[in-house]
Structure 1
Amino acid sequence: MSAQSTTVPSTENSLKGGFTQVILATLASTVGFWAWMAIAPLQKTYATEMGLDEGQISLMLATPVLVGALGRIVVGAMTDRFGGRKMFTFVLLLSIPAVLLVALAGSIKSFPLLLLAGFYLGVAGTIFAVGVPFSSAWFPPERRGFANGVFGMGMIGTAVSAFFTPRLAEAIGYFPTHLLIAALLLLMAVLSWFFLRESPVWQANDAKLIPKVVGALKLPVTWEMSFLYGIVFGGFVAFSTFLPKYLTTIYPDDVDAVGAGTRTALFAVAAVIARPIGGVLADRFGPKVIALISLAGIVTLAYVVGQQPPEGIVTGATFIFMAAAMGLGMGAVFAWIGPSTPKDKVGAVSGVVAAAGGLGGYFPPLVMGATYNAETNSYQLGLWLLVLVGAFALVVAGMLKDVGRKK
């Protein structure tokens, strides 16, 4: 069902139906992200039932992020070769056993098995690297910020996971909840196989994986965007996984597991809404200025969080605006990639940049766990590190060359 052509259609009519394809890809990504983040919403349950300490909890939360990050390099390059339809189906099907293994680990209360399951669960997080080249191919270069912004809304799967996973576990039970997630993965794999189709302008790239990735790494834009995306998306992933732990630790009398999940869901929704806005604004005004606004917002709001304000409106608003700033940055970075990258390297570059974003989300939970001050019940040192790194990224972004704006 994959569509290829030896000539590249240039008319808008040749890309008719692209928005529908991107929406379906976004739904597939949503389910993949839900599976990827299946462990984090129940971290307090695992910690209590398995007697985990701060370091073990941080490792448990970070492991799926690491594999999901590094796997994106391979999956992005494979998407250039095999196309989005096949790769969406493959990633979704491969994620099903991982979710079932998490269910088994939690049921028998085995921390080593949970770590192994979390490692495997990272496969679900690679789905993002499939959708970027797939979505980009369905839109002309000047609208790829919009296309990738819409696809990026699949991140709402983290909100779905944070909101529904603990509630489903309470309502229908722990094991049935994971069976439901596995069933949704299977359903989306079937829909992807039968209803997704490649853009008429897409052409398979049969270059070998390692030379392809090496070729992407030789491009300056790969390193530049990897660093920026490591801050904006990495920050989003880190807070999406660690926020339930953060809230129940810092505000134990005010926030329970379900309440923390609700707040984390709102955090994710804010980023999801802001991401396509960031892409559209980047198409209009240029990605550089949007990236600068994003990073300035992150730095400012991370400082506010570091002051550990009382739980309530200020705290909630701070996290929501921080998520929105991260979403704007995510949209800007991928709007920056499209016009700056050779067409045959978009998948490989996107995979590397997406991996960098995932890696950016891997280390903060470990750092937060390592810098936690039990005497003052504070993560202030870890948050200060975010402020410093964000400020450095702001300087770097200011020095980069913009790709211009839509005329």
Structure 2
Amino acid sequence: MTADAGKATGSPAVALEHHAGAMLTMATVGFAVTFWAWALLSPLGAALTERLGLSSFEQSLVVAVPVIVGSLGRIPVGALTDRLGARRMFPVVALLTVLPVLYLGHVADSLAEFVIGGFFLGLGGTTFAIGVPFVNSWYPPERRGFAIGIFGAGMGGTAISSFTTVQLSKANGFAFPFDLVAVVLVVYAAVAYLTLRDRDDRKVPAGSMLSRLAATLRMPVTLQMSFLYAVAFGGFVAFSVYLPTYLVNAFGLERSDAAVRTAGFVVLAVIMRPVGGWLSDRVDPAKILIVAYTVTTALAAIVAFEPPLVPVGTACFLAMAACLGAGMGAVFALVARLVPADRVGAVTGVVGAAGGLGGFFPPLVMGAVYSATGGYLVGFLLLAATAAGAAVFTWGVAAKRGRTAAE
């Protein structure tokens, strides 16, 4: 009888854990699908250059515009998620992203039109700010680092794009990958609407979106985490967007070969994100960040001098992918420790926006540096200096905040 009573007592907890796992799965799939859409233009950068006669800077602009819009859009989307919940927000954002996807595949045919389409395509990048507060609400504090890391692995949608977009476009015509993504988005929106559920005890914040945003920006932790995520996620986005172009220009690779190598970089970063979250549940996440940024500093300095791609360059890029991935997981493990539950969406929106903005400028800088100097030395040295600054900042500020929160 005691065993039966134990089972009866434990069954609600087991059911809740099972439901949390289902919600995490659906959120991660939604994040991956919308990120797949968000990253459609990057692998086609070289093809668009030939098709439209773009300069290096113009090519960088086309692939970077979705990044900045997807980044800034996370601020209102995160605040709306706190108010409306993920069950409404995920399907709506997925369906709205279909429009620019189809526009880019069938209508756009000039630099201005691709920039306009890319602007609205950025909406697909905002779902990060929907998923983090949603996943946070379903998991206890001691498991949030790993759970958010698993959700963050949905950024592997960029790897799907890197692996498939060029090949599908060559085999079936330019519009085919856009049509495929549009169909997947519609299917996901329907399934998400039927299956996603917000927690019944979810806290809905009071006040207007603008007042809550102002209060969020006044929190010191918001700006501190924004800087750290701008370096980690920004570095990842910058490489996932610009690495194909870099490999073609610096080493003369074929576009398809460069896209596949970039996908390998993305996949490793995606794998390491939940690992960084898992480690942060067991170790002070600030320590994970310090190690990640310090190693990135050294690797960026090595790559700046263009060592042979095989094996040195490849090893450096893959190690940077691992460090940036682990760093992304660690940042949001730290956010989960420091931010009240009813403000996680708003803080995530701002921090996520900072991360995306961190990925917007490096491709433009790399394009400008290459146009001016014919090489990438200055660009990688700037990355090394930024990562070093993040390591010092984490050691001096974020680590102290993390210890205070733990106490």
Q: What's the CA shift for 1:319?
A: 1.0
Match of 2:20 in 1: 18
Q: How does 1:113-128 map to 2 (within 5 A)?
A: 113-128=113-128
Moved over 3 A (4+): 10-16, 404-407
Q: How does 1:251-262 map to 2 (within 5 A)?
A: 251-252=251-252, 255-262=253-260
Match of 1:403 in 2: 402
Is 1:349 the counterpart of 2:347 in the alignment?
yes
Match of 2:34 in 1: 32
Q: What's the CA shift for 1:330?
A: 0.4
Is 1:173 the counterpart of 2:170 in the alignment?
no
Q: What's the CA shift for 1:23?
A: 1.2
Q: Return the alpha-carbon distance in structure 1 between the equivalents of residues 201 and 255 of structure 2.
A: 47
Q: CA RMSD in A?
A: 1.7
Q: What's the CA shift for 1:104?
A: 2.6
- Range moving further from structure 2, 53-62 or 305-314: 305-314
Q: How does 1:264-303 map to 2 (within 5 A)?
A: 264-303=262-301
Q: Which amino acid aligns with 2:327?
A: G
Q: Return the alpha-carbon distance in structure 2 between the equivalents of residues 15 and 402 of structure 1.
A: 30
Unaligned runs of 5+ in 1: 1-9
2:36 aligns to what SS in structure 1? helix
From 57, 63, 66, the counterpart of 2:65: 63
- Range moving further from structure 2, 231-240 or 394-403: 394-403
Is 1:228 the counterpart of 2:225 in the alignment?
no
Q: Deviations over 1:250-270 (max 9, x none)?
A: 111xx1111111011101101
Q: Is the 2:235–2:359 contact (alpha carbons within 8 Å) kept by the matching residues of 1?
A: yes
From 380, 384, 387, the counterpart of 1:387: 384
Match of 1:75 in 2: 77
Q: Return the alpha-carbon distance in structure 2 between the equivalents of residues 330 and 142 of structure 1.
A: 18
Q: Which amino acid aligns with 1:394?
A: A
Q: What's the CA shift for 1:11?
A: 6.4
Q: Deviations over 1:367-404 (max 9, x none)?
A: 111111566x3111111111111111111000121425
Match of 2:138 in 1: 138
Q: How does 1:44-55 map to 2 (within 5 A)?
A: 44-55=46-57
Q: 1:206 to 1:270 in 2, by over 3 A?
A: same
Match of 1:5 in 2: none
Match of 2:43 in 1: 41
- Using the size of structure 1 for normalisation, the TM-score is 0.93
Q: What's the CA shift for 1:307?
A: 1.4
Q: How does 1:143-222 map to 2 (within 5 A)?
A: 143-222=143-222
Q: Return the alpha-carbon distance in structure 1 between the equivalents of residues 257 and 127 of structure 2.
A: 28
1:312 aligns to what SS in structure 2? helix
Q: Deviations over 1:320-354 (max 9, x none)?
A: 11011001100000000011011111100011000
Q: What's the CA shift for 1:234?
A: 0.3
Aligned-pair identity (%)? 44
Q: Is the 2:269–2:325 contact (alpha carbons within 8 Å) kept by the matching residues of 1?
A: yes
Is 1:307 the counterpart of 2:305 in the alignment?
yes
Q: Return the alpha-carbon distance in structure 1 between the equivalents of residues 290 and 107 of structure 2.
A: 43
- Using the size of structure 2 for normalisation, the TM-score is 0.93
Q: What's the CA shift for 1:186?
A: 0.6
Q: Which amino acid aligns with 1:403?
A: G
Q: Deviations over 1:118-157 (max 9, x none)?
A: 0010000001110000111010111110111000000100
Q: Deviations over 1:86-119 (max 9, x none)?
A: 111111001000101111345xx31110000000
Match of 1:99 in 2: 101
Q: Return the alpha-carbon distance in structure 2 between the equivalents of residues 35 and 271 of structure 1.
A: 19
Q: How does 1:332-343 map to 2 (within 5 A)?
A: 332-343=330-341
Q: Is the 2:65–2:115 contact (alpha carbons within 8 Å) kept by the matching residues of 1?
A: yes
Match of 1:360 in 2: 358
Match of 1:85 in 2: 87
Q: Return the alpha-carbon distance in structure 1 between the equivalents of residues 298 and 146 of structure 2.
A: 27
